[in-house]
Each structure stands twice: as C-alpha cells, then as structure tokens.
C-alpha cells in the first residue's frame, strides 16, 4: 500500500513539472502594457500651471521681455525678464514630448509628440491653448515621457494599436509557458535590451522671438520651418490661428538644428551642415553640404563664414570636439578654413564682432572674430556648465545646469548682470 502511494505521488509530481507530452514548462515574468487612447493622452500632456522647479534645463527662447526655458521633453518655464537684474518665474507650460518653440505676434508654436501646438500668449498671465495640428511634424509611435520598462522575460504587446494607443505603464505577472515556445519566440541573450526606450530656437512689423543655435524651429516671414530627424517640415502661418501644412523636404539623417541668413537655411546634423535656398519659401532647394565626422553640430552664420561646433563623445559621435570655421562665400562649395579645439561645445552665438561659445563644463568662451577666419579669445568664464546662448541687442542670455545667466556687453568684453536658479 505504501509503495502504491509513493508511486502515485511521483507520478503526480512528474505530471506537474512536465504538464503534458509537449515538453518542459517554466515560470516566466510576462509584462503587458497598460494603454490610454492617444487623443486622451495627448490632451493630458498639455497644461498651464504655476511655476515649478526645473528638472532638466535645455534650450532658451527670447520674446519681448520674456524668456522661455526648455525643461527637456516636459515643457517650458516662462520667465519675466523686464528687469534683467532680477528675473522671475511666472508660469510653466506643461508640454510633454516637446523639443522646441517659436513665437510670432503672440502666437507660440511648439511641438508635442509630433503635433504642432499653438498657444495664445497675448496675455502672459492667462496663456491659452488655441490650436493643434495632429501629426504635423511626424507621425510616429508615441511613448509616454519617463516611462520605465520593468524587468521581464516576455513583453506581450497583444493587440496594441500603436497608431491609436499610448503605453503609459506595465502590468507584470508570473506565467507558466512552454520552454520551447519561449525560446522560439523570445530567445535571445538580452531580450530586455530590445525594448529599451533609449533605442527607441508706416505698417507695424511682425513680432518674432529669437532662439539659439540649438533651435529646431525657425520662423521666417509667413513660414515656420521645423527640422526633425531627417526632414524639414514647412508651415504657412500667414493665418496665425490656422497654419497650413506644406510638403516636407527630406534633408538627411541625424538632423539637429536650423539657422538662417537672409533667404538661406543652414541645417546642422551629426554628419554635416546642409545649405538650402528658400527664395521660394514653400520649397527649399538644396545648394550644397559640408561633411564632417559624426558629432553634435549646431551652426551660426555671419557674412561669409559659418561657425560650427562639433561635440564628440557619448551619443554625439566619434569626431574630435572643436569649432570649425567654414568659408561660405561660395555657397555651392563651402570650405573648411580652420579648426579650434574645444572640450565639449554646445550652443554658440554672434553679436557684432563677438563670438560666444558654450563649451559645456569648460564654461563660456568669448572670442573676437573681426579677423575671421582667425579668432582671438577675449574672455573665459570658468567653473560654470554652459549649454545654450542667445545674443540679444542689449544683453546676452545663457543657460546651463538649471541656471539662467545674463550678461551686459562691454566694448571688448561682457559682464555678469544676474544669475537665476530655476
């Protein structure tokens, strides 16, 4: 009798482990997405709130007596700068999935998850959302900001429609599955890496703001130009309330910035600088390109020279960091004249004969470019982290590491006016 009971116990145990004749089973962590419809999600990604602390400072944009400071992918902080010696934060424009902003006649244009969003800022104390053009800049899968992928063996996306659904979280459960089926469908050395998110600027004249060299938005006349990863998106904004989406122009890959001089666009990318003619503003025409090693690449232009900062390392690429001075007197044949070594340059700007370079952790550098392509360093503000700079008529704005710096111009130098911790 005891032998029979032992035999029965062993048979049940074997049956539990193998389940049936299909093969061995194991326990796996299965993650399934929690989704929200895109319309609701995008609506909740926008709000106007009281000032909040900054999370990660990015670009800056100046308009009238106000400064808009990017909180990377989260929105813009609105700074009242009527007194540059004592700026104050007055609002936060929550705008998830945002890269840039540009303003004309109190209409603020920005992007949010590929949509073009329009705000009315005629009353800066009562900013209003006034329009939205869906998928105007790109039509791509949308990912919630700051979502983290859980540790899991299997990511089961089920019937998620990425054109309509947004993943806002995950539910993880332990499930027992056939080992053979798991290996056939999900087997890899590091499956979680496949789903990493990281893979994933008489008649009344129009009032237009000013961005820095890192800008992806540029308003020229009645047109708004926006660069994304590979294209120029073009909008006719002659009717500020109802922008008209025009045909995109493909540029290349790894496009990062846009700058203009008269009717010429200079597009900065990690592979080079691209030059376009916009005599016909609706159809930019390619003129030439200046190629360089892979690096982050903002560009500013003054007269016959383009000034390009290349930042190597990290995700930017393997090129040596430096300032490239390029002769563009012949737009069809841009020619590199000289390279000045830099440590980790970001944005740069020009005011008359002065060239300002944000050299990352190496600080703000001021040069005299009156003898371009030869430049001479005038000053070096060390012990500050620098990112983006905008030379205004009466003062210089600079952002870095959550701090807004303002300087006044001197004859051969600049002097600090104020610092504002965000």
User: How buried is residue 106: exposed, middle or buried, by Cβ count under 10 Å (0-12/13-18/19+)?
Assistant: middle
Pick the closest to residue 259 from 309, 225, 287 (CA basis): 225
DSSP conformation letters of 120-159: E-SSTTS-EEEEEETTSS-----B-TT--PPP-SEE--TT
Pick the closest to residue 296 from 277, 278, 279, 273 (CA basis): 273
Across 119-123, 155-159, 185-189, least confident range = 185-189
54-108 tens-digit pLDDT: 998 889 999 999 999 999 889 999 999 999 999 999 999 999 888 899 999 999 9
Q: Which two tokens stand for residue 118?
A: 């329009």
Strands 285-291 and 115-120: unpaired
- Contact 258/276 with Cβ under 8 angstroms? no
110-133 tens-digit pLDDT: 998 888 999 999 999 999 999 999
Query: What's the mean pLDDT when you consider all of the chain?
Result: 84
**55-140+201-421 CATH fold:** Methylamine Dehydrogenase; Chain H (2.130.10)
Strand partners, 366: 356, 379
190-232 tens-digit pLDDT: 333 333 333 333 434 468 999 999 999 999 999 999 998 899 9
Strand partners, 110: 101, 117
Q: The tokens 């009032």 sit on which residue? A: 207
Instruction: Examine the pLDDT at 19 and tell me if it is beyond 60.
Output: no
Q: How many Cβ atoms sit within 10 Å of the Cβ of residue 283? A: 13
Planar angle of CA 213, 365, 100, nearest 5 degrees: 20
- Contact 342/376 with Cβ under 8 angstroms? no
Pick the closest to residue 46 from 105, 103, 102, 116 (CA basis): 116
Buried residues in 10-23 as b, exposed as e (16+ CB within 10 A):
eeeeeeeeeeeeee
Structure pTM? 0.76
The residue-averaged pLDDT of 361-369 equals 96
| pLDDT at 147 (0 to 100) | 59
Pick the closest to residue 104 from 128, 121, 124, 81 (CA basis): 121
259-313 tens-digit pLDDT: 999 999 999 988 889 999 999 999 999 999 998 877 677 999 999 999 999 887 7
313-346 tens-digit pLDDT: 766 666 788 999 999 999 999 999 999 999 989 9
Which three-class secondary structure state does DSSP give residue 141? coil
Compute the distance between CA of residue 299 and CA of residue 259 in angstroms, rounded to an integer: 7
């Amino acid at each position: 009798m005891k032998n029979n009971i032992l035999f029965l116990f062993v048979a049940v145990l074997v049956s539990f482990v193998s389940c049936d004749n299909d093969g061995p089973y194991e326990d796996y962590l299965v993650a399934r997405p929690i989704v929200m419809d895109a319309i609701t999600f995008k609506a909740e990604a926008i709000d106007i709130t009281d000032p909040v602390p900054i999370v990660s400072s990015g670009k800056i944009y100046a308009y009238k007596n106000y400064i808009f400071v990017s909180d990377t992918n989260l929105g813009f902080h609105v700074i009242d700068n009527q007194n540059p010696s004592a700026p104050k934060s007055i609002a936060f424009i929550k705008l998830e999935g945002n890269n840039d902003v540009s303003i004309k006649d109190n209409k603020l244009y920005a992007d949010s998850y590929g949509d073009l969003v329009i705000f009315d800022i005629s009353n800066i104390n009562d900013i209003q959302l006034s329009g939205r053009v869906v998928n105007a800049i790109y039509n791509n899968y949308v990912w919630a900001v700051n979502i983290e992928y859980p540790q899991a063996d299997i990511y089961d996306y089920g019937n998620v429609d990425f054109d309509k659904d947004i993943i806002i979280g995950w539910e993880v459960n332990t499930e027992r599955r056939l080992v053979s089926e798991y290996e056939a469908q999900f087997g890899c050395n590091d499956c979680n890496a496949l789903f990493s998110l990281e893979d994933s600027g008489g008649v009344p004249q129009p009032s237009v703001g000013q961005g820095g060299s890192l800008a992806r938005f540029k308003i020229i006349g009645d047109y708004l130009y926006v660069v994304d990863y590979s294209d120029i998106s073009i909008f006719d904004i002659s009717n500020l309330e109802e922008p008209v989406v025009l045909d995109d122009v493909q540029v290349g890959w790894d496009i990062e910035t846009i700058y203009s001089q008269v009717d010429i666009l200079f597009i900065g990318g990690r592979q080079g600088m691209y030059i376009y003619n916009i005599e016909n503003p609706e159809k930019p025409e390619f003129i030439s390109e200046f190629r360089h090693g892979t690096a982050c690449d903002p560009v500013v232009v003054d007269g016959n020279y383009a000034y390009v900062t290349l930042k190597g390392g990290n995700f930017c690429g393997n090129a040596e960091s430096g300032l490239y001075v390029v002769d563009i007197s012949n737009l069809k044949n841009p020619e590199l004249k000289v390279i000045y070594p830099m440590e980790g340059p970001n944005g740069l700007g020009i005011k008359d004969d002065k060239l300002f370079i944000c050299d990352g952790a190496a600080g703000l550098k001021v040069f005299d470019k009156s003898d371009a392509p030869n430049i001479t360093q005038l000053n070096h503000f060390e012990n500050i982290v620098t990112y983006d700079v905008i030379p205004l008529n009466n003062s210089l704005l600079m952002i870095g590491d959550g701090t807004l710096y303002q300087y006044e111009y001197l004859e051969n130098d600049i002097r600090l006016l104020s610092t504002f911790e965000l």
